[in-house]
Amino acid sequence: MLGERENEPNRECREAGARTGRRGSAAARRPVDMLHGPLAGKLIGYALPLAATSVLQQIFNAADVAVVGRFVGNEAMAAVGCAGPIVSLLVSFFVGTSLGSTVVIATAVGGNQSDLASRAVHTSLLFALLGGLAASLLCELFAADVLRMMNVPGSVFSMALLYLRIYFAGVPVIVLYNFEAAIFRSVGDTKGPLIVLVFSGLLNVALNLLFVFALDMTVDGVAIATVVSNGVSFLLLLLRLLRTDSEVRLHWRQLRIDGESLKKVLQIGLPAGLQNTIFAFSNIIVQYAVNSLGTVVMAASSAALYVETYAHFMLSSFGQACTTFVGQNNGAGNLPRCRRILRVSLALDFAFTGAACCFVLLCGRPILSLFTADPEVIETAYLRVRVILFAFLFGSLFQEMFSDYLRGFSISLTPTLISIAGICGIRTLMVCTYFRAAPSFFRLLMVYPVSLCTTGAVMAVTALVVERRLIRSHAEAATDSSSYR
């Protein structure tokens, strides 16, 4: 697995003195200088806007569920909830794939390879467009079949299918937006996408109320609002790419697929996308079991999903910060700083995620009451929130942080294989055995802490072993270079 490593530090990167002037001028154009100075403040400055972006996105997505739950009914709310895991599977794949762009561009920027960074930017955007169009077509063709495979009840099937068909029509702009955001993250800009999301998210909420409350639409109204707001997000970030003065500026005439850049992006991004898809696929398996427990559990699980993930967004934001910072420093050949990035990221992640979990626990019931007034649904949803937050803090945090650390070195296949076995494998096994032996919502929820804690432990050990080998390999390369000179 170490063979997938492609970032041997070149001699020019280590001999930084000859490049001080160019490094300084390039760093001045970047929102965050990841190569020099203290780490904690910069990691927080990178991660918090990223977490805020995800939280706001979730709030605006939750508006879909809240609006149909309040103004249409539990069946419409359950329909949107049933569609959620399918949408998550698709989006998760492209978000993971876009991580390949972040790492490739960040590594090129750290190594002062502006031409490589530019080619990766233009290749990524064109790939996002073509990939989004292909995904949209395939999803439209198989939407009904997937819902049947998920055992969606007939009472909500038609509404779930309508929601999916409209949503899938907007997949190209959703994919493009995520790749644009990934490009900005590679140079440390997480505030720009946040500002864009605030505007488009408020537009989404306004359109939800207009279509559902004023025009008496149902799930079709919230789906149209989502597609329109995502289209606005894409256009606003596109304008920023055309105007930025950093290495990631977009030039229309340079839009083409560069084979070398695409290969690097996919080598990192496809395994990351597959890993994200495994999470989403395992959630579809769990959703299948949820659907067998009745409408109350379905509605509760749908509402809880939008609450519990606030803590996960904080967790994952520091993992993404670790990936980008490690990517740039790996490109500059500074492995000791990469190790410090991991330690500081872990400490900050545990502190901020712990605080987020406490907040969600304290405010969980009031937030859930925004989705439904049914006390049984609220209590069932709060049970799920408590179990999932434990799994996040003591399992997912380690699983994601060490996985993202490896990807900063362009090692992507290893964490993917571990996640496939640990996440999808354990959850599927538990649903088919432990849950099926005595079906209950609590037994079903146990698949999360067991799978995440087990996978997190294995991922941590693997990352530390690989790190030692990387350090030894770089030390040997430095010795050989010194002997040659």
| CA gap 312, 265 in Å, rounded | 25
Cβ density class 142-178: b for 16+ within 10 Å, e for less: ebbebbeebebbeebbebbbbbbbbbbebbbbbbbbb
| CA gap 50, 58 in Å, rounded | 12
| CA gap 350, 434 in Å, rounded | 30
Average pLDDT over residues 426-451: 90
pLDDT for 477: 61
Average pLDDT over residues 243-250: 85
Token output for 67: 């609006």
pLDDT band at 462 (very low <50, low <70, confident <90, very high): very high
Q: What percent of the chain has pLDDT over 70?
A: 89
Of residues 215 and 319, the one with the higher pLDDT is 319
Contact 46, 327 (CB under 8 A): no
Q: Is 9 helix (H, G, I), strand (E, B) or coil?
A: coil
| CA gap 453, 390 in Å, rounded | 10
Q: Is residue 27 part of a domain?
A: no
Q: Is residue 10 part of a domain?
A: no
Q: Mean pLDDT in the chain?
A: 82
pLDDT band at 114 (very low <50, low <70, confident <90, very high): confident
| DSSP summary character for residue 215 | S
Q: Provide the residue range defining the domain that includes 43.
A: 38-478
pLDDT for 31: 65
pLDDT band at 310 (very low <50, low <70, confident <90, very high): confident
pTM for the full model?
0.75
Q: Is the per-residue pLDDT at 151 higher than 80?
A: no
Q: Is the per-residue pLDDT at 15 higher than 60?
A: no
Q: Is the per-residue pLDDT at 185 higher than 90?
A: no
Q: Which residues contact 192 (CB under 8 A, 6 or more apart)?
A: 184, 237, 240
pLDDT for 350: 92
Q: Is residue 47 part of a domain?
A: yes
Contact 315, 45 (CB under 8 A): no
Q: Is residue 412 part of a domain?
A: yes
Contact 61, 309 (CB under 8 A): no
pLDDT band at 446 (very low <50, low <70, confident <90, very high): very high
pLDDT for 6: 42
pLDDT for 18: 40
Q: Is residue 359 part of a domain?
A: yes
Of residues 106 and 275, the one with the higher pLDDT is 106
Q: Is residue 3 part of a domain?
A: no
pLDDT for 475: 66
Q: Is residue 32 part of a domain?
A: no
Tell me: the pLDDT tens digits for 21-67?
444 444 445 567 788 888 999 999 989 988 888 777 777 766 777 77
**Cα angle at 279 between 447 and 152, to 5 degrees?**
80
Tell me: the pLDDT tens digits for 311-353?
888 888 999 899 989 988 888 888 888 889 999 999 999 999 9
Tell me: the pLDDT tens digits for 395-415?
889 999 999 999 888 888 888
pLDDT for 306: 73
Lowest mean pLDDT among 61-65, 118-122, 357-361: 61-65
Average pLDDT over residues 129-137: 91
| CA gap 70, 76 in Å, rounded | 10
How many H helices and E strands in the chain? 19, 0
Q: How many domains does the chain have?
A: 1
Q: Is residue 5 part of a domain?
A: no
DSSP-H helix ranges across 72-190: 74-110, 114-149, 154-169, 171-186
